[in-house]
Amino acid sequence: MGHKCFISFKTTDEDYKKSIQNDLDIDMIDKSLNEAINSDDEDYIMRKIREDYLNNSTVTIHLIGADSAENNQLLNQNYIKRELQASLYTGNNNSKNGILGVVLPEVIDSIYTGSHKCSTCNKTHNYVNINDDTTIKEFSYNYYIPKDTGCAWGPEDRYCVLVKWDDFVSNPNKYIDLAYQKRDEPIAKKTKVRP
């Protein structure tokens, strides 16, 4: 069964968004937030984005490219931050979306940096560089949700799902389903809308 998807992307990554739209069999909502909602009431803003942009979507696909970083001072990240906040928001008439991060080819090597020996447990972990230098806090916090024990995160410790572009394109619905299922897992109770 397909899930309605909303795509959050930077304009520099629009070709990837169009490729998803035109080449993959995905049920998607073709809207993006490109003007500010003029209000100081955060709940109103979240509700408005949900109603006007994410309406009926259950999974948000967040494209992670070279311009997606929290620390990029040159770019305004407000729109993608708002889109993810609204996706994580549970309101009166909606539950939060599953969040699927798709790592675009140009940043794969800076995000998937291979395995490293852990100074805490002396085991080897595959390191995935999801932080303020690679993506926005709304994604990174909900990917590496703070936990009390252990040094590595398993799938059950993460709300956001992450996939490389090529893997996503070869089987998009597999990853969309994984993100959708997170909504009913215990980890869904630990997400933060505004980390």
What are 116-162's pLDDT values in tens digits? Answer: 888 888 989 889 999 999 999 999 999 999 998 888 899 999 999 99
Q: What's the confidence (pLDDT) of residue 35?
A: 67
Q: Which residue has the higher pLDDT, 29 or 177?
A: 177
What are the domain boundaries of the chain? 5-190
% of the chain exceeding 70 in pLDDT: 96
**pTM for the whole structure:** 0.92
Give the mean pLDDT of the chain. Answer: 90
DSSP the chain: ----EEEE--GGGHHHHHHHHHHS---EE-----S----S-HHHHHHHHHHHTSTT--EEEEEE-TT--TT-TTS--HHHHHHHHHHH---SS--PPEEEEEE-GGGHHHHEEEEEE-TTTS-EEEEE--STTTS-HHHHHHHS---SS-SS--GGG-SSEEEEHHHHHHSHHHHHHHHHHGGGSGGGGG--S--
Q: What's the confidence (pLDDT) of residue 44?
A: 83
